[in-house]
Amino acid sequence: MNCMLGIESSCDETAAAIVDGDLFVRANVVASQYDLHAEYGGVVPEIASRAHLERILPVVRAALIEAGVGIEQISAVAVGIRPGLIGSLLVGSNAAKALAWSRDLPFYAVDHVAAHLFAGLLHTDMQARAGAFPALGLVVSGGHTSLFRIASPVACELIGRTIDDAVGEAMDKAANMLGLPHPGGPNLERCAQFGDAGALRFTRPQLPNPLDFSLSGLKTKLLYEIRGVPQGRGAHATFTRSAHDLTDSRRADLAASFQRGAIAQVIDRLTRAAELHAPRALFVGGGVVSNMTLRRELSAWSLEREIDLIVPEPRFCVDNAAMIAGHAVLRRALGDMGDDLSTPAEPVSRLARGVLPKRVQ
């Protein structure tokens, strides 16, 4: 049986999945750590690593049971090996290497950003997508906001990226400013549903590379709107008000306005990229693509330009192992025999830094 076992542990999700050679997801198991990090308002690396150690083997076993296969029916092992919290990555990568070595199976070290980029191909006919190239690719997540020109699933070129915060990170910080609980992004979206997105207007930054992103200005404007202009400088600066002074209505208006500002910048960069590169399709991935407002905007943008939108199901947008296994299946189908077991885990994506122009690992 041609089944790929995928493992993902880059941040605070311990995940394992089984994907077959037709990109059908036979199992996708995710153990979340939200409850462990909620009181800190964000992910604590040491806690995350410890939780991965406790959960990695039970999650792999659960994926095998859900898929109805035994370990002897696995033909290869894939793992997200970059980017992420290095302690968390080491847990998943070492588990995957041990399984591959003990079973003498091919090993695929997958770039997490590349896996997000092509997660929309899960549960689809690969042959039907053969005409999708050349394409644009957009990854919008908590750690990355990157724009790519794509010639094939193993040939990508970085053409735009954030120069400061990623969209997901900015949404998390905006939620924190507004006094919303962890996880910030989803709670910002929920709050925004009840607000007026035109209550506060944000300008789009003009950057040397017109395809780059910048969210720092949006955050600063939101901060001053919530707390007022700071009095003094540095550690001695004081503010005239706080998020506690916001009414529920005003909080919802600011959430909706910030969300619109961030999404408008994404759409603006996509429009510029489409004018330059004339894509046949747009591949989209990353946790922020679970945001229904963004999904609607991307759908409308693609429909207007008659560009095929290839977007994952919401469950494959957030960190998961199915996208890891799926990208390894794509590589294998194109003749890639895998990676050496000595391939190290790395905290930064090579793809998002633009150092893999011809082959996505």
Name the residue ranges covered by the structural domains of the chain: 3-121+314-353, 130-310
Q: pLDDT tens for residues 170-217? A: 999 999 999 999 889 999 999 999 999 999 999 999 999 999 999 999
Predicted confidence at residue 72, as pLDDT, reads 93
Q: pLDDT tens for residues 11-53? A: 888 999 999 999 999 999 998 776 777 777 778 888 888 988 9
∠ CA 127-295-31 to the nearest 5 degrees? 80
- What's the CATH architecture for 130-310? 2-Layer Sandwich (3.30)
1 confidence band (pLDDT: 50, 70, 90):
low
CA distance 285 to 283: 7
Percentage of residues of the chain with pLDDT beyond 90: 76
The DSSP code for 289 is G
Contact indicator for 113, 285 with CB cutoff of 8 Å: no
| 3-121+314-353 matches 130-310 in fold | yes
Predicted confidence at residue 358, as pLDDT, reads 40
Write the CATH number of the domain with boundaries 3-121+314-353. Answer: 3.30.420.40
Q: pLDDT tens for residues 340-358? A: 999 999 998 888 776 543 4
Instruction: Give just the sign of the alpha carbon dihedral 87, 92, 93, 99.
Output: positive
Q: How far is CA 294 from CA 144, 259, 267, 287, 290, in A?
A: 16, 9, 9, 11, 8
* Cβ neighbour number for residue 224 with a 10 Å cutoff: 12
CA distance 250 to 271: 31
Contact indicator for 138, 147 with CB cutoff of 8 Å: yes
Predicted confidence at residue 128, as pLDDT, reads 62
If you average pLDDT over residues 107-129, what whole number do you get? Answer: 87
Q: pLDDT tens for residues 275-311? A: 999 999 999 999 999 999 999 999 999 999 999 999 9
> Of 286, 260, 274, which is closest to residue 204 (Cα–Cα)?
260
Q: pLDDT tens for residues 58-71? A: 999 999 999 999 99
Predicted confidence at residue 360, as pLDDT, reads 46
